[in-house]
Amino acid sequence: MRPAKLAPLFATVRALKGVGPKVEGLLNKLVAPRHEGAHARVVDLVWHLPVGVIDRAIAPRIAEAKIGELATLEVTVTEHRPGGGSKWRSRGPYRVLVEDESGGALQLVYFNADPTYIKRLLPLGSRRLISGKLESYDGWLQMPHPDHVMAIDSEDGAALPLHEPVYPLTAGLTNTTLRKAIANAIEQVPDLPEWIDTGFLAQTAWPRFGEAVARLHAPETEADLLPSALPRARLAYDELLANQLALAVIRARLKRRAGRRLAAQGKLRKAILAALPFSLTGAQKRALAEIDADLASPHRMLRLLQGDVGSGKTVVALLAMAAAVEAGLQGALMAPTEILARQHLQTISGFASSGFDAAAGLRIALLTGRERGRERAEIMEALKAGRIDILIGTHALFQEQIAFHDLGLVVIDEQHRFGVHQRLALQAKGAGTGAELLVMTATPIPRTLLLTSYGDMDVSRLDEKPPGRKPIATRTLPLERLAEVVSGIARAIAGGAQVYWVCPLVAESEVLDIAAAEARYAELRARFGESVGLVHGRLAGKDKDRVMAAFASGALSILVSTTVIEVGVDVPKASIMIIEHAERFGLAQLHQLRGRVGRGAQESSCILLYRQPLSETARERLNVMRRTEDGFVIAEEDLRLRGGGELLGTRQSGLPMFRVATLPEHQALLEAARDQARLTLGRDPELKGQGSEALRLLLYLFERDDAIKLMRAG
């Protein structure tokens, strides 16, 4: 349960003064969390960072003020020049002449203003603080419609915002409205106990949390907007600390149970290796040696196997599980989707049963949400009795009362699908079984980000592709040239080629994505007939399989899909990848998608169709795709290009989304946060102590409370 203290922050923005249904709608668009149906909450406004600042610092003299810029001046009103008539809406503008102590003079210009109002605002001889943009007109310095006019020494003189934060906006929402909403949101920030070590706080000269939030939204100079500004640094640290604590909690739980020494003779593995139609790459051998060392040690394995699509992770997983099986234990392989789980089953049974007598070899079963009733009961019974060596499946593997006889190794193939939150839960489930843990990811995660996603896991990299892979010719084309692409495809499939056609990620809504895919499917079907298939996330499992199988068998030439094929599908004969609206995908995702082709012996190509005009970043992303196929290079570029604004890319990457922290700028803070997290949990692993109350609040504040649930689960 979230502490009551934080409740005001997690109320919807409607709770704020001045936010009615209309503004709420706009704020939902602008700051709501990115999952479907989410509402903007007060805390989302707190983390909506200014990107600019309007500086109304008072210029000492009119003579020094710059034309075209904002000026804030102390002046005396010397003359009124109503515009030609005494009536409101007369021909010329109403002008008010003012001067300052240096003798500099200036006209304030009002069009269509009520003269009575102006006379009251700027009485002759009065002293006023004025602020607005300076222009030059007819040799006169003038300020049309000043933003602010205030009596000097009056009460509201203090109310002139000398500096105004500028926020990213959405159509229909003004900066002023947003600024007020955010100011109200900040007032909801409760007084919180300090979670940063006093010594560290003193050393960094950081403000306290509440003050940091206030200052975050009150920048005075451009420097205040930098990641290094004190309030930003403090809040980034807080956020990173929450992230590192959550990861450290997982790690602590994983490590709590000692691992077992899995001593295998390697006979089973040798049999599998002998039957493989290829020999392992150097990288695969290295990764296996690292895994073996972990398995043989008394500590529990906690290893991340990183390797590009097609780098051969599945074989490594199989050989690792074979070691567990030979030691008399079971292995579990969990995939993010049903399609992938089935594919793993196919690949692995292909490898594992071809070389030796299946009865004496590996007994492999599949368990997804789809196996029901009798079938499911039988699998579960066999599993419990130890008659299944390797169970492959989706997250159903860790649901319900699925009991293993003796699970030795859990492999989680996340193929870049799970968010950090899900990952925490899944890894904990794997850990709850007491097994060794191998996580595989096809996301080439930049080193800077590894720590934020995986904490302190050990890492093996498959940085070498199996031999014989041909480069994928990658082209970028505007959508206007779709017809050419279709003709090109017609020629290619006449020659026997197979094509993936990935449809745009249009909206945050899966339903809309599917509609787009269906429309494209209908068009291609009209042209190519029965040889076109469609697959998307809402299809029933059996239908999905049928389409995938038809494509794999060559019965279908074109497979139209939403991004569901992103994950691991292996059809070596497919050689053409078309990605529509490529500008909407993040680099990591484009890379994943492209990796679906180029797996067979034939020449492969990838066409990235984009809609004009391209943003600068989108253009660069597409260029990166043309330039390189190296996942680790692409990942570094991704990080460089992503910046703060490219939310879509971030979300798609499956990497954690930070609100304040940016990497690599806050790398040093990340490391400091990791150290504090370790130290703290070393002292108080359940965060139950007096001193840890603040840290628990911190976890809730940054919505890393999965970690707290885990600690509860014991």
End-to-end CA distance of the chain: 16
Asked if residue 312 binds Mg ion (CB under 5 A), the reply is: no
| Residue 635 Cβ vs ligand ADP, minimum distance, rounded to whole Å | 15
Share in percent of the chain as helix, strand, coil (round to 5): 45, 15, 35
DSSP designation for 601: S
The residue ranges of DSSP E strands in 541-695, in sequence order, are 558-561, 574-579, 604-610
Q: 526-532 long-range CB contacts below 8 Å, 24 or more apart?
A: 527/486, 527/490, 528/490, 528/493, 528/557, 528/558, 531/493, 531/555, 531/556, 531/557, 531/558, 532/556, 532/557, 532/558, 532/559, 532/560
Binding mask 528-567 for Mg ion (x = CB under 5 A): ----------------------------------------
Asked if residue 280 binds ligand ADP (CB under 6 A), the reply is: yes
d(CA 79, CA 262): 93
Q: In terms of CB distance, is 300 or 416 closer to Mg ion?
A: 416
DSSP designation for 41: B
The residue ranges of DSSP E strands in 101-192, in sequence order, are 105-110, 127-133, 135-137, 140-144, 148-151, 163-166
| Residue 303 Cβ vs ligand ADP, minimum distance, rounded to whole Å | 15
Element (H, E) at 654: none
Q: Are 289 and 331 in contact (CB under 8 A)?
A: no
Instruction: For tokens 């190296």, name the residue.
Output: 630
Q: In terms of CB distance, is 350 or 682 closer to Mg ion?
A: 350
16: left (phi over 0), alpha (psi -120 to 50) or beta: beta
Asked if residue 312 binds ligand ADP (CB under 6 A), the reply is: yes
| Residue 426 Cβ vs ligand ADP, minimum distance, rounded to whole Å | 18
Q: Which stretch binds Mg ion (CB under 5 A): 295-303, 309-317, 479-487, 559-567?
A: 309-317
| Residue 350 Cβ vs ligand ADP, minimum distance, rounded to whole Å | 8
Q: Around Cβ 55, how many Cβ atoms within 10 Å?
A: 15
Q: Indicate which of ligand ADP, Mg ion, none lies near residue 281 (CB less than 5 to 8 Å, by partner kind).
A: ligand ADP
Q: Which of 131, 142, 188, 314 binds ligand ADP (CB under 6 A)?
A: 314
Q: Which of 253, 313, 363, 596 binds ligand ADP (CB under 6 A)?
A: 313
d(CA 145, CA 135): 11
For residue 296, what are the contacts with CB-CB under 8 A and spacing of at least 6?
261, 262, 263
Q: Are 632 and 463 in contact (CB under 8 A)?
A: yes
Query: In this structure, which amino acid lies at residue 490?
Result: A
Determine the residue with CB nearest ligand ADP: 312
User: How many residues does the structure list for the chain?
Assistant: 714
Q: Which of 233, 309, 332, 609 binds ligand ADP (CB under 6 A)?
A: 309
Q: Are 338 and 394 in contact (CB under 8 A)?
A: yes
| Residue 340 Cβ vs ligand ADP, minimum distance, rounded to whole Å | 9
Q: Which stretch binds Mg ion (CB under 5 A): 210-218, 513-521, 568-576, 593-601?
A: 568-576
Q: Which stretch binds ligand ADP (CB under 6 A): 311-319, 555-563, 612-620, 666-674?
A: 311-319
Asked if residue 314 binds Mg ion (CB under 5 A), the reply is: yes
Asked if residue 444 binds ligand ADP (CB under 6 A), the reply is: no
Q: Which stretch binds ligand ADP (CB under 6 A): 48-56, 205-213, 303-311, 655-663?
A: 303-311
- SS3 for 492-519, per residue? HHHCCCEEEEECCCCCCCHHHHHHHHHH
Of residues 544 through 573, those in contact with ligand ADP by CB under 6 A are 568, 570
Q: Which stretch binds ligand ADP (CB under 6 A): 15-23, 276-284, 396-404, 671-679?
A: 276-284
Pairing label, strands 498-502, 558-561: parallel
Question: In the numeric block, which tokens belong to residue 30?
Answer: 């602008």
Q: Which of 266, 386, 432, 466 binds ligand ADP (CB under 6 A)?
A: 466
Asked if residue 355 binds ligand ADP (CB under 6 A), the reply is: no
Q: In terms of CB distance, is 313 or 544 closer to ligand ADP?
A: 313
φ, ψ of residue 398 in degrees (nearest 5):
-110, 10
Q: Indicate which of ligand ADP, Mg ion, none lies near residue 438 (CB less than 5 to 8 Å, by partner kind).
A: none
Q: Which of 307, 393, 568, 598 binds Mg ion (CB under 5 A)?
A: 568
Q: In terms of CB distance, is 74 or 570 closer to Mg ion?
A: 570
Question: In the numeric block, which tokens belong to residue 313?
Answer: 């992770």
| Residue 285 Cβ vs ligand ADP, minimum distance, rounded to whole Å | 9
Binding mask 619-638 for Mg ion (x = CB under 5 A): --------------------
| Residue 571 Cβ vs Mg ion, minimum distance, rounded to whole Å | 13
d(CA 109, CA 91): 13
Q: Indicate which of Mg ion, ligand ADP, none lies near residue 311 (CB less than 5 to 8 Å, by partner kind).
A: ligand ADP
d(CA 288, CA 438): 11
Q: Which stretch binds Mg ion (CB under 5 A): 314-322, 355-363, 642-650, 691-699?
A: 314-322
Pairing label, strands 127-133, 472-478: unpaired
Asked if residue 631 binds ligand ADP (CB under 6 A), the reply is: no
Q: In terms of CB distance, is 62 or 315 closer to ligand ADP?
A: 315
Q: In terms of CB distance, is 82 or 568 closer to ligand ADP?
A: 568
Q: Which of 243, 244, 311, 427 binds ligand ADP (CB under 6 A)?
A: 311
Instruction: Please report, as ranges, the residues that interact with ligand ADP according to CB under 6 A.
Output: 278, 280-281, 284, 307, 309-315, 442, 466, 568, 570, 599
Instruction: Please report, as ranges, the residues that interact with Mg ion according to CB under 5 A.
Output: 314, 568
